[in-house]
A and B are shown apart, each in its own frame.
Chain A
């Protein structure tokens, strides 16, 4: 049996978020990673709006517009500005080749899929597969953080991990009080500030964005 049209569209949107995560893994330029993050946040916002419109949950509109402003506009433009100031090795550094890192991420994502899929968590707002997809998003974000050895990619990996968690919260806690959601977004803002400071300090000290210099225990 095919899932209903609503379920199908929602799952396609969630999979699109996952696909963007894979695209980040593949993107060689840091700037294109930031752009992909903005696109991913846009898709998450779209998913939230779609759920709000179909299930008539007005609070989600507020959340969607907040995250649209914050995650699609403010955070990416902040990171791009930091990159412009840093003005150094813009091409990211992956430990593995593209094809093999995608295959690894695929295996990890499949693990996430089946691990969560076997829990049989059902939700009234989104199809079950969305929870599995959000788990896969989080795991692939971890792969991105592990395989890339520069500060910006790791920050982007962390932010996109938050996108995965947003999708998960849409599935299991659609009617979450707005104040809790705003607290999450505030957390994200704090993370942006912290990562921004790390990027600036690291770049000022070592004149690079690579984390491979972190293993030297000197100030």
Chain B
């Protein structure tokens, strides 16, 4: 083996490190762009790192009413977010050794486990708002689930597998794959799913402090210290993971490393973070265009995402689209 090459396991480790270390940066860029769009100067790009460092130097306060679940939840969630980058095409076009240990459903299960453990830990806090957040997060999570399933159906119909690497390779293979209606609509539906799952504006104000509109944000109200740091870091990682799936599997699977050379892997890391920041700017722009939906209007938003996903499957059956 050439000394310039990284071993496949090494690349896999770099994938996890990219998500781990790059996620706060992407969040920082989005916050900065959002500030600019709103006519503010916005926080520093590196602010999320400082925040996380600050949380890790603080003490953890635990309510008398809560149990060990309250403390374990953030750790389980964080390790879930560390696992998912092993399964999805983050940096390479070729599948890595552990890439086949789980398909899209497997990745979805792990992300769901992370959401579940954070919600459980919020429910265990004994505080009303954290429990409200957990309950809402689980409700809307259940409502968006059929859409995710239909997107997975569409992917499975197009590629005859449910491996993210396979769809990524299919999209790269020709333009006709890129414009076929079932792919276009599945990608649009997944875009809306990302909007819901990252708690962006039509669904939730991610930086708001008003409890009545909170969904995901409210779950972590009772946490403090390193646990809160893990939760914040985890949510930036979840955002980058979803962006990565959207970019590298659906929208623009280009700029990935096709060999294990150091240079191409490093280029792929830069390309991924650049693409994620561009996508983040799109989301920040959407944030600026729309107002938050009322809580009971969110079902309408989810219904439209479901509509897109179902149409993508239907058109595949009727016209081979």
| A contact set with B: CB distance below 8 Å | 1-5, 7-9, 11-12, 15, 18-19, 22, 26, 98-99, 102-103, 106, 109-110, 113-114, 116-117, 127-130, 132-133
Q: How far is the CA of A116 from the CA of B318 in the complex (A)?
A: 9
Contacts A8-B176, A113-B318 aside, 15 further interface pairs with beta carbons under 8 A come to: A5-B176, A11-B321, A26-B300, A102-B303, A102-B304, A102-B307, A103-B303, A113-B317, A116-B318, A117-B317, A117-B319, A128-B319, A129-B315, A132-B318, A132-B319
The answer to whether B303 touches A99, judged by C-beta atoms less than 8 angstroms apart, is: yes
Which of B181, B299, B302, B317 is close to A11, meaning CB atoms less than 8 Å apart? Answer: B181
Which of B176, B302, B304, B310 is close to A2, meaning CB atoms less than 8 Å apart? Answer: B176
- In the complex, which residues of chain A have a beta carbon less than 8 angstroms from the beta carbon of B311? 15, 18-19, 109
A-B contact pairs, 24 of them (CB 8 A): A1-B320, A2-B158, A3-B180, A3-B320, A4-B176, A7-B321, A8-B184, A9-B179, A11-B319, A11-B321, A12-B184, A15-B181, A15-B311, A15-B315, A18-B311, A26-B300, A99-B302, A102-B300, A106-B310, A109-B314, A116-B318, A117-B319, A127-B321, A129-B319
The answer to whether A3 touches B319, judged by C-beta atoms less than 8 angstroms apart, is: yes
User: Which 8 residue pairs spanning A and B have beta carbons closest together?
Assistant: A129-B319, A117-B318, A8-B179, A8-B180, A11-B181, A99-B303, A5-B176, A132-B318
Q: How far is the CA of A41 from the CA of B184 in the complex (A)?
A: 21
B174, B181, B310, B321 interface centre (most CB from chain A within 10 Å):
B181
The answer to whether A15 touches B185, judged by C-beta atoms less than 8 angstroms apart, is: yes
- In the complex, which residues of chain A have a beta carbon less than 8 angstroms from the beta carbon of B177? 2
If over half of B's interface residues share one DSSP class (helix, strand or loop), that class is named, otherwise mixed; here it is helix
Question: Closest CB-CB distance, A8 to chain B, in whole Å?
Answer: 4
- In the complex, which residues of chain B have a beta carbon less than 8 angstroms from the beta carbon of A98? 300, 303
Q: Which residue of B lies closest to A132 (CB)?
A: B318
The answer to whether B179 touches A5, judged by C-beta atoms less than 8 angstroms apart, is: yes
- In the complex, which residues of chain A have a beta carbon less than 8 angstroms from the beta carbon of B180? 2-3, 8, 11
Q: How far is the CA of A72 from the CA of B308 in the complex (A)?
A: 25
B175 interface residue per 8 A CB criterion: yes
What total of A-B pairs shows CB separation below 8 Å?
Answer: 86
Q: How far is the CA of A157 from the CA of B180 in the complex (A)?
A: 28
Q: How far is the CA of A173 from the CA of B184 in the complex (A)?
A: 27
Q: How far is the CA of A114 from the CA of B319 in the complex (A)?
A: 10
Do A3 and B300 contact each other (CB < 8 Å), given the known contacts A15-B311, A117-B318, A132-B319?
no
Residues 162-197 of chain B, each 1 if its beta carbon lies under 8 Å from chain A, else 0 = 000000000000111101110011000000000000
Question: Closest CB-CB distance, A191 to chain B, in whole Å?
Answer: 28
- In the complex, which residues of chain A have a beta carbon less than 8 angstroms from the beta carbon of B181? 8, 11-12, 15, 129
Q: How far is the CA of A102 from the CA of B147 in the complex (A)?
A: 14
- In the complex, which residues of chain B have a beta carbon less than 8 angstroms from the beta carbon of A7? 319, 321
A3, A9, A18, A127 interface centre (most CB from chain B within 10 Å):
A3
- In the complex, which residues of chain B have a beta carbon less than 8 angstroms from the beta carbon of A110? 310, 314
The answer to whether B176 touches A129, judged by C-beta atoms less than 8 angstroms apart, is: no
- In the complex, which residues of chain B have a beta carbon less than 8 angstroms from the beta carbon of A132? 318-319
B177, B179, B308, B310 interface centre (most CB from chain A within 10 Å):
B179
- In the complex, which residues of chain A have a beta carbon less than 8 angstroms from the beta carbon of B299? 99
Q: How far is the CA of A110 from the CA of B306 in the complex (A)?
A: 13
The answer to whether B303 touches A128, judged by C-beta atoms less than 8 angstroms apart, is: no
The answer to whether B310 touches A128, judged by C-beta atoms less than 8 angstroms apart, is: no
Question: Closest CB-CB distance, B7 to chain A, in whole Å?
Answer: 35
- In the complex, which residues of chain B have a beta carbon less than 8 angstroms from the beta carbon of A26? 300, 304
Q: How far is the CA of A22 from the CA of B314 in the complex (A)?
A: 15
